């Protein structure tokens, strides 16, 4: 019996069919995403870039760290996104006395009517599709580390038993600036679990005027559901199927490798960076650029997408040396030359 080898023409036809299927799925996804952006924009005023970066993080299947002072609608953004994307959402307020069991859950000893005793696991708020970790750097490092396994492996281990988390599972954490009192800086391993760090800045004058008028009246805008969790999961699969050109791949590799002091060709990085991003940064850029393209109605990412997402991907995966900080350098002063190296 001989093995039949498919002809070149049949392979081409299969590729065309796959491409058409991806294109059809992308058109449906773009329509839903446009509706989602409109619904979120009706509640979150003037933070389009923050909204888009948060959606990019979720479309990529990752987690996001929202950094900004209190009162910039970070909590409202997470709640609104949960509603619009059809995700079950729970919120944990991180405080210095919060314990890991308050997040993950705990086992309790119960006695039945027959007198038999057994342990029963009571699930914590982490067992949701969208977990809001509010002011995550207010909790102790011990409590912060409780999310490490959940964020990376989507499981929780309690008393030697493994419990799977719902799918999809995302953590959107908010963080106060480290300069404020009563905060614990997140360790490097924890920061690396976040796909993007999203800086939430103060609104412009016109935006703040609109916020005042829209949020202090008799009624406030509410968001409606734009998709289901299953549809979101299908979009996340679609993101991984979008093609990426060799130029974009090379740009990502050049950017991430140049950000490492031991591998860079930039003298500024060698002299000012104590440690740089690992391979997970490149993976984050690959997924995030695809998600950004889909969100903007395109079927493949460009180098411009890499440039725009370089900051959110790299800024929490790099650390300045003591000398660089003493000289007043900031990570943005390092990231800009990195971006210039791939232009």
What digits encode the pLDDT tens for the residues 272-281? 999 889 999 9
Mean pLDDT of 192-206: 91
- Burial class (CB within 10 angstroms; exposed 0-12, middle 13-18, buried 19+) of 25: middle
Residue 182 to residue 331: CA distance in whole angstroms: 24
Sequence-distant (≥ 6) Cβ neighbours of residue 234 within 8 angstroms: 25, 29
Q: Is the pLDDT of residue 221 over 90?
A: no
- CA distances for 218 relative to 40, 42, 59, 190, 215, angstroms: 20, 16, 35, 42, 8
For 5-52, give the DSSP string. PPPHHHHHHHHHHHHHHHHHHHHHHHHHHHHHHHHHHTTS-S-HHHHH
Q: Is the pLDDT of residue 11 over 60?
A: no
Q: What is the pLDDT of residues 227-263, one digit of tens each?
A: 999 999 999 999 999 999 999 999 999 999 999 999 9
For the ranges 44-48, 51-55, 199-203, 218-222, the lowest mean pLDDT is seen at 218-222
- Give the model's pLDDT for residue 211: 85
Q: Which of 153, 234, 252 is nearest to 193 (CA)?
A: 153
Q: What is the pLDDT of residues 53-103, one digit of tens each?
A: 999 999 999 999 999 888 888 888 889 999 999 999 999 999 889 999 999
- Give the model's pLDDT for residue 3: 44
- Burial class (CB within 10 angstroms; exposed 0-12, middle 13-18, buried 19+) of 189: exposed
Name the class of domain 19-98+128-216.
Answer: alpha beta
The rounded mean pLDDT for the chain is 87
- Give the model's pLDDT for residue 247: 95
Give me the residue spans of the domains in the chain: 19-98+128-216, 242-343
DSSP-based three-state secondary structure for 300: coil
Residue 223 to residue 200: CA distance in whole angstroms: 21
Fold of 242-343: Helicase, Ruva Protein; domain 3 (1.10.8)
For the ranges 16-20, 97-101, 314-318, the lowest mean pLDDT is seen at 16-20
Q: What is the pLDDT of residues 155-190, one digit of tens each?
A: 998 888 899 999 999 999 998 776 666 678 888 888
Residue 76 to residue 252: CA distance in whole angstroms: 33
Rounded to two decimals, the pTM is 0.88
Q: What is the pLDDT of residues 108-154, one digit of tens each?
A: 888 777 778 888 888 989 999 999 999 998 888 888 888 888 998 99
- Give the model's pLDDT for residue 8: 43
DSSP lists the bridge partners of residue 92 as 133
């Amino acid at each position: 019996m001989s093995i039949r080898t498919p002809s070149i023409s049949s392979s081409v036809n299969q590729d065309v069919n796959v491409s058409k299927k991806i294109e059809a799925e992308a058109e449906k996804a773009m329509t839903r995403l446009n509706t989602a952006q409109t619904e979120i924009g009706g509640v979150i005023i003037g933070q389009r870039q923050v909204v888009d970066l948060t959606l990019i993080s979720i479309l990529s299947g990752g987690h996001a760290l929202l950094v900004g002072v209190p009162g910039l609608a970070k909590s409202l953004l997470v709640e609104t996104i949960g509603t619009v994307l059809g995700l079950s959402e729970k919120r944990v307020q991180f405080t210095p006395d919060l314990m890991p069991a308050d997040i993950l859950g705990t086992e309790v000893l119960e006695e039945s009517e027959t007198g038999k005793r057994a342990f029963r696991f009571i699930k914590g708020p982490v067992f949701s599709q969208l977990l809001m970790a509010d002011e995550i750097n207010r909790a102790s490092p011990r409590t912060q580390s409780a999310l490490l396994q959940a964020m990376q492996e989507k499981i929780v281990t309690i008393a030697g038993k493994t419990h799977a988390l719902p799918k999809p599972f995302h953590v959107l954490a908010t963080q106060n600036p480290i300069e404020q009192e009563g905060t614990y800086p997140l360790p490097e391993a924890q920061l690396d679990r976040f796909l993007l760090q999203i800086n939430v800045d103060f609104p412009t004058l016109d935006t703040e005027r609109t916020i005042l008028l829209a949020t202090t009246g008799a009624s406030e805008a509410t968001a409606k559901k734009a998709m289901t969790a299953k549809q979101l999961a299908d979009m996340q699969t679609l993101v991984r199927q979008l093609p990426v050109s060799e130029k974009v791949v090379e740009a990502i590799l050049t950017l991430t490798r140049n950000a490492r002091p031991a591998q860079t060709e930039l003298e500024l990085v060698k002299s000012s960076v104590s440690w740089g991003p690992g391979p997970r940064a490149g993976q984050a850029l690959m997924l995030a650029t695809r998600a950004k393209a889909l969100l903007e109605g395109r079927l493949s990412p460009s180098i411009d997408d890499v440039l725009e997402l370089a900051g959110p991907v790299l800024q929490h995966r790099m650390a300045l040396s003591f000398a660089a900080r003493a000289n007043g350098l900031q990570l943005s002063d390092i990231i800009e030359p990195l971006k210039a190296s791939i232009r």
